Chain A
């Protein structure tokens, strides 16, 4: 059974780098034609796609965040990661990792999600 689990600091200072890792079990992130995705949800608000990475390593980013985002794969650990630079309070959100549905694209839909992790940006 596929499971995803986010990990990383829950508190990040303004202007610093937000770094999160998604550990995947039940499937190899490098062995099938799938997308692995980061999505976020500010408290009490809606969902926003951050970016996706294909099993081959090709990345796709939300244009509104593209200048600050890097997503990468670590196939040896069956993990993928998110780095968001120069964070502000507006980046405070629950961050989810997810898998793209086999019928979809880098934009969705997303059929398996991690539980999410709250990251607060504050000094």
Chain B
């Protein structure tokens, strides 16, 4: 199975900070990677697909990039609505595995 490892597990940041979350795949997944945002008690919200394509309606402060098997989600200027848990997901093969999540909390 393809393993997806996110880092860090928790990130403390302030409004206005630039935030970067990393997701590493255990093997090549090309750019078949998505990012989701989840708030407590809510369903995940779809943010990015194919590693760097922003879903319609998602603020432009969110961006994604890829380098080999390492993927990053960057929030250029953290807003109050962005405090949440973020998940990456590979949809290249196997079981479409998700990362374990990165919680972005208020510093």
Contacts and interface: CB of A to CB of B under 8 A. Distances in A.
Contacts of A64: 95
Nearest to A64: B95
Given A47-B98, A63-B95, A64-B95, A111 B46 contact: yes
A107 interface: yes
Contact of A48 (B34, B49, B98, B99): B98
A22 B58 CA distance: 25
A103 B49 contact: yes
B49 A46 contact: no
Interface string B37-49: 0000011111001
A115 interface: yes
A36 interface: no
A105 B99 contact: no
Q: How large is the interface on A (under 10, 10 to 19, 20 to 34, 35 or more residues)?
A: 20 to 34
B100 to A, nearest CB: 5
B46 A110 contact: yes
Given A47-B98, A103-B49, A114 B43 contact: yes
Contacts of A101: 46, 49
B87 A113 contact: no
Contacts of B46: 101, 109-113
**SS class of chain A's interface: helix, strand, loop or mixed?**
strand
Contacts of A113: 43-46
- The 7 residue pairs across chains A and B that have the minimum distance between CB atoms: A108-B91, A107-B96, A109-B34, A113-B43, A107-B91, A47-B98, A49-B96
26 contacts: A46-B87, A46-B99, A46-B100, A47-B98, A48-B95, A48-B98, A49-B96, A63-B94, A96-B43, A101-B46, A105-B91, A107-B32, A107-B91, A107-B93, A107-B94, A108-B34, A108-B89, A109-B34, A109-B49, A109-B89, A109-B91, A110-B34, A110-B44, A113-B43, A113-B46, A115-B43
Interface of B: 32, 34, 42-46, 49-50, 55, 87, 89, 91-101
Interface of A: 46-49, 62-64, 96, 98, 101, 103-105, 107-116
